[in-house]
Amino acid sequence: MSTETKKTGVVRVLGIGPGAADLMAPRALAALQTADTIIGYKAYLEQAKDSLNPAAELLSSSMMQEMDRCGRALELADGGHEVALVCGGDPGIYAMAGLVFELAKAKGCHCAIEIIPGIAALNACAAILGAPLMHDFAAVSLSDLLTPWDLIARRLEAAASADFVTVIYNPKSKKRTSQIERVRDIFLRHRKAETPVGLVTAASRENESVHLATIASMLEADIGMQSTLIIGNSQTFIWQNRMITPRGYASKYGMQSG
């Protein structure tokens, strides 16, 4: 008498990086090419279309359907499937890694869960701008869909007053336009108006744009949901159109400016 062994399924939650194909991690690429089911926001699946396993079943959905995507991925993996759950950037930074674990705990899922990191927007934007994240920094999302604005504002005040370089995610949308003005006002209370600000839109994609500004002038730039802002600290400077935050080597080793 034969006994059937149930196949163990897995959900691999992966980040495809900021946009350029050659900035996707090899481990994420391998997961996309071996999965039998690939689930993701339709724009991300389109972005990674050349890297997907052609034999895999594709399940795409619209924005704001994260719960459905994560729940379906866990359900299929519990049934023995090898699932790739696709996120932009890095799955553990404002993406779906945490939600997968929360749902797995709530539903009592027993499948394996693997998180595959990717290059996040803040990494890609920092590299394009120069070296603005060389010292302590904070990242704050202005989206108030899941976090009350009062809490976001308190975090911005804390980052600004502590002189953190600050990365601003989701700075503006069609409906949400005033929060970025509040960011400027908060930082002007704690930093000089001429403090450098770097703004990158669509990092590493064909429509990438880069803008260097100051806290005082940053709202003059074209800011949208694909934009990421990096607000410098009190030591950040611009040199040859690059944004640099010193780590402290100059004072430690007596470096002279060239």
Instruction: Write the pLDDT tens digit of every residue in 143-183.
Output: 999 999 999 999 999 999 999 999 999 999 988 999 999 99
Same domain flag for 99 and 20: yes
Same domain flag for 56 and 126: no
Name the DSSP letter for residue 228: E
Same domain flag for 96 and 149: no
Query: In which band, very low, low, confident or very high, does the pLDDT at 1 lie, cut at 50, 70 and 90?
Result: very low
Q: Is the residue at 80 inside a domain?
A: yes
Same domain flag for 54 and 101: yes
Instruction: Report d(CA 94, CA 182) in Å as an integer.
Output: 21
Same domain flag for 97 and 141: no
Q: Is the residue at 257 inside a domain?
A: no
Provide the H-helix boundaries in 15-65. 26-34, 42-47
Contact, 182 vs 163, CB < 8 A?
no
Q: What is the length of the chain?
A: 258
* Domain end marker among 84, 119, 154: 119
Instruction: Report d(CA 156, CA 153) in Å as an integer.
Output: 5
CA neighbor of 113 nearest in space, from 89, 92, 134: 92
What is the distance of C-alpha 66 from the center of its chain? 15
Contact, 167 vs 128, CB < 8 A?
no
Domain of 211 in residue numbering reads as 122-244
Given a cut of 70, whether residue 111 has pLDDT beyond it is yes
* Domain end marker among 67, 91, 119: 119
Each residue of 180-223: pLDDT tens digit? 999 999 999 999 999 999 999 999 999 999 999 999 999 999 99
pLDDT at site 23: 97
Task: Report the number of distinct structural domains present in the chain.
Answer: 2
Instruction: Report d(CA 217, CA 186) in Å as an integer.
Output: 14
Q: Is the residue at 250 inside a domain?
A: no
Same domain flag for 22 and 93: yes
CATH of the domain at 101: 3.40.1010.10
Same domain flag for 185 and 229: yes
pLDDT at site 2: 45
Tokens representing residue 222 in the block: 């074209």
Sheet holding 137-141, edge to edge: 137-141, 165-169, 227-231, 196-201, 209-214
Same domain flag for 179 and 230: yes
Same domain flag for 227 and 136: yes
Each residue of 30-67: pLDDT tens digit? 999 999 999 999 999 999 999 999 999 999 998 889 99
pLDDT at site 8: 81
Place of tokens 């975090």: 155
CA neighbor of 235 nearest in space, from 131, 156, 141: 131
Beta strands in 117-240 (DSSP E): 130-131, 137-141, 165-169, 196-201, 209-214, 227-231, 237-239
Instruction: Report d(CA 133, CA 136) in Å as an integer.
Output: 7
Same domain flag for 113 and 130: no
Same domain flag for 238 and 133: yes
* Secondary structure of residue 38 in the 3-state scheme: strand
* Domain end marker among 119, 139, 163: 119
CA neighbor of 185 nearest in space, from 223, 211, 210, 156: 156
